[in-house]
Structure 1
Amino acid sequence: MTERDELILWRDAHARGETATLDRAVGAGEVLRVRRGVYVAASRWAGARPEQRMRLRAHALAAVATRPPVFSHATAAALHGLPIHRGDDGRVHTLELGPVPAASRSDVVRHRHEVAGTDLARVGPLRVTTLARTLFDVLCAEPAETATAAIDAALRAGAWRGRGVYDERAAAVLLEDVRARVDEAPGARGIRRARFVVSIADGRAQLPGESISRLWMLQLGAAEPELQVPVAIGGGRQVFLDFAWPRLRRFGEFDGDGKYVDPALTAGRSPRDVLRAQRERESRIVAATGWTPVRWGWERLASRTAFAAFLRSHGLLR
């Protein structure tokens, strides 16, 4: 089931003679309005991640628009399956291609950029900017944290093969496409930030928190980490470290919420089982390397100042 299938359209309820039922559900708080004429179950909205809500808004706009919209920027990134760290402001971003551009509204930002036909694609039934064009727009328009998490995730989706294998050639194809767009727009707004983020992008980051941690380490002048360093922990097992500083004899692990609740990462285990497995894994890594573990989560990324203090306390920032 796609996000489009989860939407409830007023016109469909009207055709079935069920508008009174829909009105009662809205009044009871069981159904929420996504936009005029489009609704979704309140429980679905409450449990949705920011990117899922962005996709629901996109499908809602497409369902009632007089002409098919072309989604761009952060909305297109969400439709491409990328994380949008703190980039959901409740609005939908579209690209205006018509001869008479429509005005932006409080809930729809209509961008007026010249794009080639090759910069347009489809994600399911929706028209969007291509992945490379979307990344370029996000790099220029969003904060460095949002942009870094997005481009790292895009590279990982195309180049990470699992078990420590990172296809550098596949990553380079996408990265060069994005870099070329950055180089061709030297005066664009946000281009200096975009150029920096492209220079540090790395698809070996597994979670947005890892991407943001690495970004801040570089901005703060902290010791630069090696990523996904393999360590043999006995019994024929090999693990890969999120961060490692071999010369400092330290390794770092980012404990994002996804490690405890994302089915793709928990493999059906309870949070307690995941935590127990992580502790055992850490003990084996320490035994194999003699390195000191450094763990952190989102609470350490509340601000760069807080993260700097944390790094300094572990000897990773002078």
Structure 2
Amino acid sequence: MVRLKRGWYTSQALRHASDRHRLRVQAELHDHPGTIASHHSAAVHLGLPLHRPDWARVHLMRTGPGSAQNRPTVVIHQRVGEVVGMDPALVVAQTALGCPVSGLMAADHALRTSQILLSDVELWSTQLDNHVGHCHLPVVLRLANKLRESALESRTAITFDRWGWHLDPQFEVPGTPYRADARLRGTRVLIECDGLGKYDEPGAEQREKVREDDIRALDWEVVRVTSDLLDQRTALLHRVKAAIARSARR
């Protein structure tokens, strides 16, 4: 038996921190009637990807009048608008308040899976203009794109945006049957995001090497991005600048 909180236990196998958090949300909802999950606590319930959230704190929102409460393990937010149930578009907007990277990951995934319309996120964002972190919402709304196929692509996009570069997602490489995860706009530099599981299929790594050789033969530069490299931004920035320089010399 694993203790979730005082008076709450589970016999389920909790392989990930998100598994424990999901069960804690259920316990807190039972102990706090008149609330619904919100922010990243709602995002994990909806299956939206997140970037290293604070799993120790559960976020709830009132469905009626009442003041906000901020405790070490549970935060209860005041009601937003006339919401009475979990709205994915509001959840994405609330997630972005705390972390723009998580917000973009959630937005891209929700758009790709048809859970939200970007216009609905924009409407909710107008009702969050007095909330801490509202400055993150314009960035997420500007960058959100349903073409991105992984959370790593979303994280890469917001990192490059901070450097002043724009990525064109799922770029069809001219003269080839290939598609890159992104192109650095205005250059002949392609970005490939290598996340967990990308090469799990037998023969995938060999096919990727042939694909990359074909692309480089047409004078395209390829920069591979991993989660570790995004944690070492100076090294990644140097790689990208070197690729741009090589492309310019050609």
Instruction: Report the TM-score, using the length of structure 2 for normalisation.
Output: 0.83
Match of 2:74 among 86, 108, 119: 108
Provide the residue aligned with 1:57 in structure 2: 24
Q: Residues 308, 158 of structure 1: CA spacing in aligned structure 2 closer, same or farther, 3 A cutoff?
A: same
Count how many residue pairs are aligned between Structure 1 and Structure 2: 246
Q: Please tell me the residue identity of whatever aligns with 1:91.
A: R
Q: Is the 8 A contact 2:65 2:78 kept in 1?
A: no
2:37 maps to which residue?
Answer: 71
**Residue equivalent to 2:241:** 312
- Cα deviation digits, residues 201-234 of structure 1 (max 9, x gap): 1121222221121112111123x23211224887
Amino acid at match of 2:28: L
List aligned pairs for 1:1-318, cutoff 5 A. 31-41=1-11, 44-45=13-14, 47-48=15-16, 50-62=17-29, 64-65=30-31, 67=33, 69-97=35-63, 103-116=69-82, 119-121=83-85, 129-140=86-97, 142-158=98-114, 174-222=117-165, 224-231=166-173, 238-245=177-184, 248-260=187-199, 266=200, 269=201, 273-287=203-217, 289-315=218-244
Shift of 1:181: 2.5
The separation in 2 between residues aligned to 1:132 and 1:102, in whole angstroms, is 21
The one-letter code matched in structure 1 to 2:89 is A
Q: Secondary structure at the match of 2:121?
A: helix
User: Aligned partners of 1:56 and 1:230: how far apart in 2?
Assistant: 42
Between structures 1 and 2, the one with greater helix share: 1
In 2, Cα distance between equivalents of 1:291 and 1:246: 13
State the shift of 1:106 in Å: 2.5
Distance verdict in 2 for CA 1:257–1:233, change over 3 Å: farther
Q: 1:102 to 1:152 in 2, by over 3 A?
A: closer
Cα separation, partners in 2 of 1:39 and 1:188, compared to 1, 3 Å:
closer
CA drift at 1:284: 3.6
Q: RMSD of aligned C-alpha atoms? A: 3.0
C-alpha distance in structure 2 between counterparts of 1:310 and 1:108, whole Å: 42
| Deviation (angstroms), 1:36 | 2.9
2:135 maps to a residue whose letter is R
Residue type matched to 2:244 in 1? G
Q: Please tell me whether the aligned partners of residues 300 and 310 of structure 1 are also in contact (alpha carbons under 8 angstroms).
A: no
Structure 2: gaps spanning 5 or more residues: 246-250
Distance 2:24 2:235 in 1: 34
Q: State the TM-score, normalizing by the size of structure 1.
A: 0.67
Distance in 1, matches of 2:207 and 2:95, equals 36
Secondary structure (helix, strand or coil) at the match of 2:124 reads: helix
What does the per-residue CA deviation read over 1:82-106, in whole Å, with 9 as the maximum and x for residues that have no partner? 1111113322111123556684433
| TM-aligned CA distance change 1:191 to 1:69, over 3 Å | closer
The secondary structure found in structure 1 opposite 2:41 is: helix
Give percent identity, aligned residues only.
27
Runs (5+) with no aligned partner, structure 1: 1-30, 122-128, 160-172, 261-265
Greater gyration radius: 1
Could you tell me whether the CA contact under 8 Å between 1:51 and 1:83 is conserved in 2? Answer: no
For residue 248 of structure 2, what is the aligned residue in structure 1?
none
Measured in 2, the distance between the counterparts of 1:255 and 1:215 equals 16
CA–CA distance in structure 1, aligned partners of residues 67 and 164 of structure 2: 45
* Secondary structure of 1:158's aligned partner: coil
Distance in 2 between the 1:246 and 1:199 partners?
A: 16
